[in-house]
Copies of this chain bind each other. A is one copy, B any other.
Amino acid sequence: MTDSSQKHANAFDLIAPINKGLSSLQQATPREEIVQCGWNLLREDMSLPLAVLYEDRLQHNLHWMRQFIAAYGVKLAPHGKTTMAPRLFEMQLKAGAWGITLATAHQSLVAYTHGVRRILMANQLIGKENMAMVGRMLRDPTLEFYCLVDSAAQIDKLGEFFSASKRRLHVLIELGVTGGRAGVRNDEQLQSVLDALTRWSDSISLCGIEIYEGVLNDEASIRDFLQHAVAVTRKLFAEKRFHRAPVLLSGAGSAWYDVVADVFSTAHFGDSVEIILRPGCYLTHDVGSYRKAQEEILQRNPIARQMNSCLLPALQIWAYVQSVPEVDRAIIAMGKRDAAFDSGLPAPALHFRPGSAMPRPAPAHWLVSKMMDQHAYLQMDAEDDLRVGDMIGFDISHPCLTFDKWRTLPVLNASYDVIDVVNTYF
């Protein structure tokens, strides 16, 4: 993935001793050297709070999704916005991903700078410097880059820019639903987009169709929307509107990718269409909204059921008990600055007393009842043995908004040794 010649070239890839958790570094240090420090979480070699990834669980999840995708004969462009960690993009590509999905020009630049050469920017490209950024990346003939269009107004702006800069931009038409997010709503809008694409055919190539089904909440509506995408793809294919063979047809967030795989693959496009799924959260999974979504997938999807295993939560936040001011309340040194809180608060998973052998499962009745910017309130029973200085490992809900609180995340093996570190670029 990353050119080895490029590995140390960027000052911003060095890991700063003032990143959370890494204060025992004395200076900005390359990843490879940190891995050799011999740090261990349970020996308290790093400061807490600290977000960590578990290597075995990441590998399990990579393998799980690879199998699922293969069973459907579709392709994977995992959404990189979840982690914004090029080291994890590298793992995903190594595990067979077709490319990486990103949400913005900035995110695309981060991926490109770290060696990703097939990018699906699942969003409209808007604005002078965002276009300029993409234009500069496109000087590299090895880069395959796609973004979305959904209005003539937007295509005219793209056409003016890329025509003037003599670069060709590859786009997918985004289809949307009324009351939803971006995307063409009806035939009239679609025709207006197609007309605009015809006007700018010297600089813009239509390569496929894209939808995001996650704006809908029930399977029946989602299946209808997906069938609509199939029908539009078929129609534009018959009209020879596409300038890519195979045509790209892409959908799927992290909650309905099984339904997307099912509907798109049973359209039987054969070799004329590449189906690209874009889930992002499968890599670290969680114990909140995505565990719930995955349980539903296991219920409704026969292939997922046959796989006889599920995704595992691979991201945890470790934090100290800083105060036990009342017999049934502990104050934890972890807050909204450290973990997502918008779809469920972190859940105590492991309890470790420094000096003991290994963490033990946290009692099921321990509950985070509230989070402030830098603190969490943990409810427990008066007789529980929880002390100031104890460490708690929390599972999380919503990996996207947890990753963006961290600039560096250590990767641990089963003995809690640091075997890798992952930088994020938000």
Chain A positions near chain B (C-beta within 8 angstroms): 10-12, 14, 16-21, 23-24, 28, 44-49, 81, 103-106, 109-110, 113, 123-124, 126-130, 132-133, 150-151, 153-154, 157, 176, 178-185, 189, 320-326, 331, 333, 336-337, 341-342, 354, 372-375, 377, 387-389, 400-401, 404-405, 407, 425-426
The CB with the most chain B CB atoms within 10 A, among A49, A127, A401, is that of A127
A32 to chain B, nearest CB (A): 16
A283 to chain B, nearest CB (A): 15
From B105, B109, B132, B389, A157 is in contact (CB under 8 Å) with B389
Q: Using known A-B contacts A325-B150, A388-B126, determine if residue A18 contacts B425 with beta carbons closer than 8 Å.
A: yes
Q: Which residues of the partner chain B approach A45 to less than 8 Å between Cβ atoms?
A: 129
Beta-carbon contact of B44 and A129 below 8 Å:
yes
Q: Which residues of the partner chain B approach A389 to less than 8 Å between Cβ atoms?
A: 126-127, 153-154, 157
Q: Using known A-B contacts A23-B106, A133-B23, determine if residue A325 contacts B184 with beta carbons closer than 8 Å.
A: yes
Interface residue SS majority, chain A: loop
Beta-carbon contact of B11 and A28 below 8 Å:
yes
Residue of B nearest to A13 (CB): B16
CB-CB nearest 5 A-B residue pairs: A12-B16, A182-B323, A44-B128, A47-B129, A103-B374
Distance, CA A33 to CA B338, complexed state (A): 32
A200 to chain B, nearest CB (A): 15
Q: Using known A-B contacts A322-B123, A377-B181, determine if residue A404 contacts B405 with beta carbons closer than 8 Å.
A: yes
Residue of B nearest to A110 (CB): B18
Beta-carbon contact of A325 and B182 below 8 Å:
yes
Residue of B nearest to A102 (CB): B374
Beta-carbon contact of B106 and A185 below 8 Å:
no
7 A-B residue pairs with Cβ-Cβ distance under 8 Å, sorted by A, are A10-B16, A18-B425, A20-B106, A23-B105, A47-B106, A123-B374, A154-B323
